[in-house]
Structure 1
Amino acid sequence: MSQKAKPTIHDSWYKGHPLVWFLSPFSLLFFVVSALRRLFFKIGLKRVHSVNVPVIVVGNITVGGNGKTPVVLALAEYYSRLGVKVGILSRGYGGNASIYPRVVSATDNAEEVGDEPLLLATRSKCSVVIDPIRARGASYLAETLQCELIICDDGLQHYALHRDVEVVVMDNRKVGSGFLLPMGPLREGMWRLSHVDAIIHNSDTMPTFDNAVAPQFLMSLAASEFVSLVDSSRTASVESINEQPCKALAGIGSPQRFFNQLTKMGITLNDEVALPDHHAFSEKDIPSGRVLMTEKDAVKARKLAHEDCWYLPVSATISSDFYNLINAKLVKRGLAIEQDQ
């Protein structure tokens, strides 16, 4: 019998538990500091660094993961297919590299470069650079690696880097309680959604907002076969995976989203283990028997995996209207784009 993931303290906080009101003075302070910071960039007291190629920022206005990585991969694949040399920039959260900017390769360790950058380097085949100082990393991609387009994974609030296109990704949690940090999950107020260029919803249905927002698009995540953590040449269909009792684990922003996806695919889950986002895996985290996990978790757990550990690669599908909107903005910036056939 399936053991569903239990609601956590994080879930209660995200939804706005009454106790979060004790944090209201700190949210007010956060609001004031954030507003002043934006003002300083706007009037020139803080420098905004520009590079000589277009920059797309894919981020969110809430804390936690909600599907940015598939969007970054989809954009990288789309523009690479059009003949554009794409570079991907990430802060490298969760890694401990000692030298920046750092080029990420598929053979690196997630402990050093971070799980998401390693996944991006493995899947995209593009140049991936990590640097906590994003302006410096962007310059390296543009000037040293000669990239023609930079896609920044996260960094919507990193105003020190000029951007030409801003894309916000949201999941079915939307903005949670609607409170600013630390009362709630918002990094910026709802007003920000009307100032970006597009909103991608990692959801089955298009949500509605009371306030004006940027053009909205739905994203669907397509998955086909499972891949072995021990030997990536081994794949398994849903039918063959279902022949044995399955345990699912996920260390992403919304683990339940992964569990729901498996259920919709027809997988019968005997257990669901929700772990914190960017969780550092140890041997005790990997149960015996058939284990299913996300690709993001797989890059960290590969060395600890046994023969019956499998991950599920997913690819984002987004309306062509979204790409047309982004194309128009990039062409104005001077990027030569041949229309996709």
Structure 2
Amino acid sequence: MDEVEYLRVISGQRQDWCARLLYLPGLRCLSLLYRVGVGVRNRMFDWRLRTVRTVAVPVVSLGNLTTGGTGKTPFVAWLTQWFLNRETQVALLSRGYRALPGEVNDEKLLLDRLCPGVPHYQNPDRCASAEKALHEGAQVLILDDGFQHRKLGRTLDLVLVDAVCPWGHGYLLPRGLLREPPASLRRADFVILTRVDQCPDAELAQLNQALIKFVPADRIASATFQPQSLINVANERLSLDSVRGKRVWAFCAIGNPAGFRLTLEQAGFDVAELQIFADHHHYTHEELQEIGNRARQANVDLILTTCKDLVKTSEPMFYGVPVWGLEIGVEIRDGKELLEQLLQGLAL
């Protein structure tokens, strides 16, 4: 079972007998074992049985409860730019998840474009990366995907929760997408609900009520990811107004493909089809050719993807169809003032 089929099973989209009677019971058993392991690990940190390494500069951790899909990459870029605007030298620390041997992953490729000149250290040992960043002059460290990485101490723990799928289909891995139970949010200093514009008001109100069990109401902000423009591999840009209403073929390899499709539709595109690949997928030449061939057969005007996927190709066209990435910006709504107050205390 590949990752796309796996997501269909745990989300309930796949309802055949094999999913209901074979896969799901087995995944539930594995989730129970995973819960025990996560609980033991967290208790060891809570009871100081495992060492937490602290460094001499502020560390801002940005993470989530689920495996991907909350919008960390554009938010890391927003945080980085916030500190740069205040003349604070920033360094990014990440694990380098699913990078090919000898290469960097898609998130680093995208962040290098969004945050040019900002040092980005990819290493599973984030403590070693922190020491290297300090030696090279960093004044603030941003720990990407750091909520579960408790070995490195942090000054501020920010957690993103996707309003569209906040609890990872209700189960811990592998039956669901939760890395740890929702009660772990008690460790967070601040929670940011993302994609609130894609969530019905009644569901959003229920979600806020659930969150305040773990986090004070004044420590919860909301955010949206707003489409800004289209960009291609040659760094050429198109305004959204110039292409609104166009028929497009889309593809992506991200944690929340449904959110990407909804963003495209809200931006005014007519989406012929969205091809979904596993999160962080590395495209082969044959796969990109297939995308272009199917797009041409569908008689679309454009091929659209995420900027995180765009950096994994060097071709401006597939089978004669122009390929563009959708640039996304972060817009923080309720709670922005308090969040900036917390950040201000860390800037030089």
Give the TM-score band, short-chain normalised. Answer: 0.7 to 0.9
CA distance in 2, matches of 1:54, 1:165: 8
TM-score, normalised to structure 1, is 0.83
1:37 matches 2:45: no
Which residue number corresponds to residue 103 of structure 1?
none
Which residue number corresponds to residue 138 of structure 1?
130
Which residue number corresponds to residue 183 of structure 1?
175
1:161 matches 2:124: no
The change in CA–CA distance for 1:25 and 1:267 in structure 2 (over 3 A counts) is closer
1:150 matches 2:164: no
Of the three residues 24, 27, 31, the one matched with 1:27 is: 31
CA distance in 2, matches of 1:257, 1:122: 23
CA distance in 2, matches of 1:318, 1:242: 25
SS at match of 1:224: strand
The change in CA–CA distance for 1:124 and 1:33 in structure 2 (over 3 A counts) is same
Q: Does the Cα contact within 8 Å between 1:283 and 1:304 map onto a contact in 2? A: no
Q: Does the Cα contact within 8 Å between 2:60 and 2:158 map onto a contact in 1? A: yes
The change in CA–CA distance for 1:145 and 1:269 in structure 2 (over 3 A counts) is same
TM-score, normalised to structure 2, is 0.82
Which residue number corresponds to residue 268 of structure 2?
266
SS at match of 1:27: helix
* Deviation of 1:249 (Å): 0.8
Which residue number corresponds to residue 104 of structure 1?
none
For residues 287-302 of structure 1, the aligned pairs below 5 Å read 287-288=291-292, 289=296, 290-302=302-314
Q: Percent identity?
A: 28
Q: What amino acid is the match of 2:35?
A: F
User: Deviations along 1:263-302, whole A, 9 cap, x unmatched?
Assistant: 1111112222111110111223333342111000011122
* Deviation of 1:76 (Å): 0.7
Q: Which moved more, 1:170-179 or 1:235-244?
A: 235-244
SS at match of 2:214: coil
1:318 matches 2:319: no
CA distance in 1, matches of 2:222, 2:126: 28
User: Deviations along 1:295-315, whole A, 9 cap, x unmatched?
Assistant: 000111225854611111111
Q: Does the Cα contact within 8 Å between 2:86 and 2:347 map onto a contact in 1? A: no
Structure 2 segments unaligned to the other structure (5+ residues) = 14-18, 297-301
The change in CA–CA distance for 1:9 and 1:320 in structure 2 (over 3 A counts) is closer
The number of residues matched between the two structures is 312
* Deviation of 1:320 (Å): 7.6
User: Deviations along 1:114-159, whole A, 9 cap, x unmatched?
Assistant: 00011112111221111111111111112x2211111111021111
Q: What amino acid is the match of 2:38?
A: S
Q: Which moved more, 1:187-196 or 1:8-17?
A: 8-17
* Deviation of 1:250 (Å): 1.2
State the structure with bigger RCO (CA 8 A, min sep 6), 1 or 2.
1
Q: Does the Cα contact within 8 Å between 1:227 and 1:310 map onto a contact in 2? A: yes
Q: Does the Cα contact within 8 Å between 2:227 and 2:263 map onto a contact in 1? A: no
CA distance in 1, matches of 2:28, 2:225: 37
Q: Does the Cα contact within 8 Å between 1:166 and 1:197 map onto a contact in 2? A: yes
Which residue number corresponds to residue 280 of structure 2?
278
SS at match of 2:169: coil
The change in CA–CA distance for 1:243 and 1:176 in structure 2 (over 3 A counts) is closer
The change in CA–CA distance for 1:14 and 1:136 in structure 2 (over 3 A counts) is farther
Q: What amino acid is the match of 2:181?
A: G
The change in CA–CA distance for 1:305 and 1:276 in structure 2 (over 3 A counts) is farther
Bigger proportion of residues as helix: 2
* Deviation of 1:256 (Å): 1.6
Structure 1 segments unaligned to the other structure (5+ residues) = 1-6, 99-111
User: Deviations along 1:6-33, whole A, 9 cap, x unmatched?
Assistant: x944033045975523333322222222
For residues 43-62 of structure 1, the aligned pairs below 5 Å read 43-62=47-66
Q: What amino acid is the match of 1:278?
A: H
Which residue number corresponds to residue 108 of structure 1?
none
CA distance in 2, matches of 1:14, 1:75: 31
Which residue number corresponds to residue 210 of structure 1?
210
CA distance in 1, matches of 2:55, 2:261: 41
Q: What amino acid is the match of 1:268?
A: D
Q: What amino acid is the match of 1:298?
A: L
Q: Does the Cα contact within 8 Å between 1:67 and 1:170 map onto a contact in 2? A: no
Which residue number corresponds to residue 86 of structure 1?
90
The change in CA–CA distance for 1:24 and 1:336 in structure 2 (over 3 A counts) is closer
